[in-house]
Amino acid sequence: MAHEHHRRRDNVASASAPGAVEARLQLIETAGFGDYALIDSGNGRKLERFGTVVVDRPEPQALWTPSAGERAWKNANAVFAGDDDEDKGRWRIDKPVPESWPVKVGAATVLCRLASFRHMGLFPEQVPHWQWMLERLAEKREPARVLNLFAYTGAASLMAAAAGAHVTHVDASKKAITWAKENQAASGLSAAPIRWMLDDATKFVAREVRRGKTYDVVLVDPPKFGRGPEGEVWDLFTSLPPLMKDVAALLAPQASLVLTVYAIRASSLAFEQLCREVLAGRGGTFQSGELAIREENGTRAVPTSLFTRWCGA
């Protein structure tokens, strides 16, 4: 698996300036791994390899000019064409693509697909978070309890379970949970202790708080907008603060938290300050910044999402 690379941003203000605060935001990159590579990027696109399949997808953050030649881009098996809006567009298949194919990431095998909204079933930039989670789990003497909210196709759930944790996997999409269970079988982890919950994350967490439940690691990876299984409306900027207050109540002593947000036009500083508020008095350490994927030639990195991580004291 890829190693985590940290880059601390330059201070926005001089430390000697009145009222200056030292910049603490970080850039965490992954350079890919055996079954994944960011081949090239530019002109609002990114060219990636998932296993044996090469895809060309929109990437508004790629403002620069591609460095690979036209031939490399024409080598793509499939191209997602359409509006920049994720809700519009479709896949154009230029070379044969299986209905699904395995991509190995750590102890998990994810069956990738040309899914709707240009997704593949795997977010490679999350690898450093998963490695960080595994490091936290290794510090526990007893089997840890992991809560994975908005858990999608379950790569993190499977890696945690393979490490011996008892995992609660929550997603509002029946299709996503079915996909995650297929990944569980493909990973040879059918006997792993994973509790699959088709539920609205906000309602589930509130019930767990009332039950007095606690978890050693909580992963929160919410969409910007979404709907629960009973039509519950999720809006990141109004729904996340109350959810995080309840999540804080679920964190056991010396627990760990990872919050990842794909609203890249927002600020990681805003989400860190939310986490600091709901965890006030708990001590511990915070890390916040951006996740990015570096091109395989090492030239440039594509920013993907914002994050905040917390470790209890």
Phi first, then psi: give them for residue 32, nearest 5 degrees.
Answer: 90, -175
Distances, alpha carbon 297 to alpha carbons 32, 77, 158, 301, in Å: 11, 21, 30, 10
pLDDT at 83: 58
Fold of 5-311: Rossmann fold (3.40.50)
Give the start-to-end residue ranges of the domains of the chain: 5-311
Kindly list the distances between the CA atom of residue 99 and the CA atoms of 58, 89, 112, 245, in Å, as whole numbers in the listed order.
21, 19, 9, 40
Contact 190, 162 (CB under 8 A): no
Report mean pLDDT in 10-residue bins for the chain, 313 residues.
Answer: 49 37 77 96 96 95 91 96 67 96 98 92 96 96 96 98 98 96 98 97 97 98 88 92 98 97 83 94 95 93 95 91
How far from chain centre, in Å, is Cα 279?
Answer: 21
215: DSSP letter: E
Structure-token pair, residue 118: 């240009």
